[in-house]
Amino acid sequence: MSLLFEFLFGQYAQYAPVDIALEIIGVVFGFLSVWYAKRNLILVFPMGLISTAIFVYLLLKWELLGDMMINAYYFAMSIYGWYVWTRKSNDSVTPITRTTSNEKRVSTFIFIATLAFVYIVYQTADKWTSWTAYVDTLTTAVFFVGMWLMARRKIENWIFWIVGDVISVPLYFYKGLTFTSFQYLIFTLVAIYGYLAWKKILNSSQVPV
């Protein structure tokens, strides 16, 4: 048992207690954000703002630039999403819908632009020191698209979350952030349920009266 504990959490011996506490708090609020997203509740955004603010600080401190940019982007998009979800159209809030052809083109642009931007950042900072940098670049692009689609209440956002979460589980564990790795494992399961829940809502709203 002690060997398993050492394997999972031994890396935290070199971290300051305050950073460990902040990571756990960020994980809790991150989980709440995804849970509220699954339930299609606007609390997804205030919970997300708290979580991402904490992780921007921690990841910048730990020099995980791609991860830090993901969370900074989440923070900004949470504000945007909060506005979109509360904006009323035809006396009702923004509904769950599928992506349009134009939104697919925008998603493709966001994905490619993010890859290029993160590449430039890593190149400028001379951080291409590990294979994790390449994976980090890919997950950043995947999550950027996912967050944009969630802010616009598009059901396809869950597909991007699932893909990014699955990749992030072993990535964060390898980086020594076990709590965050567990968070992404839970995120994966919640994202699957979130997709199914949103699909049910979408299908019910399309049933002819």
DSSP 2-60: HHHHHHHHGGGGGS-HHHHHHHHHHHHHHHHHHHHHHTT-TTHHHHHHHHHHHHHHHHH
Q: Using one digit for the tens of pLDDT, what is the confidence trace for 181-198? A: 888 999 899 899 999 999
Instruction: Give domain limits for the chain.
Output: 14-88+100-205
Predicted TM-score of the model (pTM): 0.77
Quote the CA–CA distance of 32 and 15 in Å, as a whole number.
Answer: 25
Asked if the model's pLDDT at residue 13 lies above 80, the reply is no
φ, ψ for residue 200, nearest 5 deg: -65, -45
Q: Using one digit for the tens of pLDDT, what is the confidence trace for 33-68? A: 988 888 888 899 999 999 999 999 988 887 777 778
